[in-house]
Amino acid sequence: MSGSKITLTRRGRLNVPKDPIIPFIEGDGIGPDIWASAVRVFDAAVEKAYGGDRKIHWKEVYAGEKANARKEGDWLPSETTDTIADHLVAIKGPLTTPVGGGFRSLNVAIRQRLDLFACVRPVKWYRGVPSPVKKPGLVDMVIFRENTEDIYAGIEYLHGTEENEKVKSFLMNEMGATQIRFPDTASLGVKPVSVEGTERLVRAAINHAMSSKAKSVTLVHKGNIMKFTEGKFKEWGYALAKREFGAEDLDGGPWQVIDNKGREIIVKDVIADAFLQQILLRPAEYDVIATLNLNGDYISDALAAIVGGIGIAPGANINYETGIAVFEATHGTAPKYAGQDKVNPSSVILSGVMMFDYMGWKQVGRLIEKGLKGAIKAKRVTYDFERLMKGAALLKCSEFGDEIIKHM
């Protein structure tokens, strides 16, 4: 096909040609609807930003139901992840989880196969979007969720299996574990948290804070209970800040402060359950969040609800060392709405904004955001917003894309 590959320089920076090839996965359920709307918005924004001097060459790759239809049982072909790795930057819609054996989650499988260790979720409110809280505008955070470890690693053993009995016997008989309350019926899982996994995630979060206007990086953990996993995540995070970024103790520690060319960045920590209160009570005190996999899942969706719901929440899965990044709609496949041209495409559209920013095409992202804000201000929106906005006009998914383009 025509177009050129994005490459990585020796210094680890993206080299983006004017005609990049970007692989995309359309997605299952509502995926075709939201992708059809989003890709028109992307192409229109690139055209408007660069007047024909730049163009995306979209390359479809397959996962989920489309992949299974092409070859039964192959829900995530190696060709798909190989192509993404070869082209570095990709974008995807929502994927179904196969019933029965095989993958627990195709989304998790993609992250693990490509070692996309940082799940990055910016969360901010767009004026006019319905919200359940009084001041959603106070929320403006970027979550860095560790993507490859924690209980999401998938190391689980089902009660009644030989593997589970081996693990249980080892824990009880050789390690002297007495905390398995009901050993005769217990399934078991393992929660790996490593120095390397922690450091690369916290490093990415601090680098983001230093390159943005962020005033703080917060390590969110449950280290008061899980001392050797989540507690060590906190300790290793602080140690990295000191060793690599010259952080110094703030008022005797454990909080630290980084001097970023005269601008202070505070590195602090908070217990996960307390943080879920803080995002409602004092959200303005938090900018960049670095957290473990399970915590990040909860926190991302809780914050998304504050600013308008998962339908407008973008996300990316990035390996900042290899440069490979997959941007994605963060919601599910919503099969009951499939083919109805009804749902809000904002999640994948705003993930596209993240993608263009990552590529260095920031002008494209600003045009898309301008268009989205204009459509919301005009109250010409999809059903999820229309039912909560007084005097709003109901648009189809495709029409909402047109409205965004109109307001660029």
Mind telling me the catalytic residues? 152, 222, 273, 297
Q: DSSP labels for 181-218?
A: SSTTT--EE-----HHHHHHHHHHHHHHHHHSS--EEE
Q: For residue 304, how far is the Cα from the chain centroid?
A: 12
**Residue 230 near residue 193, CB atoms below 8 Å:** yes
Nearest alpha carbon to residue 378 among 356, 395, 366? 395
Q: Percentage helix, strand, coil, to 5, in the chain?
A: 45, 20, 40
Taking the C-alpha atoms of residue 205 and residue 292, their distance in angstroms, rounded to an integer, is: 12
DSSP code, position 340 = S
CA dist 356 → 302, 316, 380, 403 (Å): 26, 12, 25, 20
Judging by beta carbons within 10 Å of its beta carbon (0-12, 13-18, 19+), is residue 93 exposed, middle or buried? buried
Taking the C-alpha atoms of residue 153 and residue 146, their distance in angstroms, rounded to an integer, is: 11
Phi and psi dihedrals of 343, rounded to 5?
Answer: -80, 165
Crossing angle for the helix pair 362-377 and 397-406, to the nearest 10 degrees: 110
**Residue 54 near residue 19, CB atoms below 8 Å:** yes
Taking the C-alpha atoms of residue 218 and residue 401, their distance in angstroms, rounded to an integer, is: 36
Taking the C-alpha atoms of residue 393 and residue 378, their distance in angstroms, rounded to an integer, is: 9
Nearest alpha carbon to residue 271 among 205, 239, 224? 224
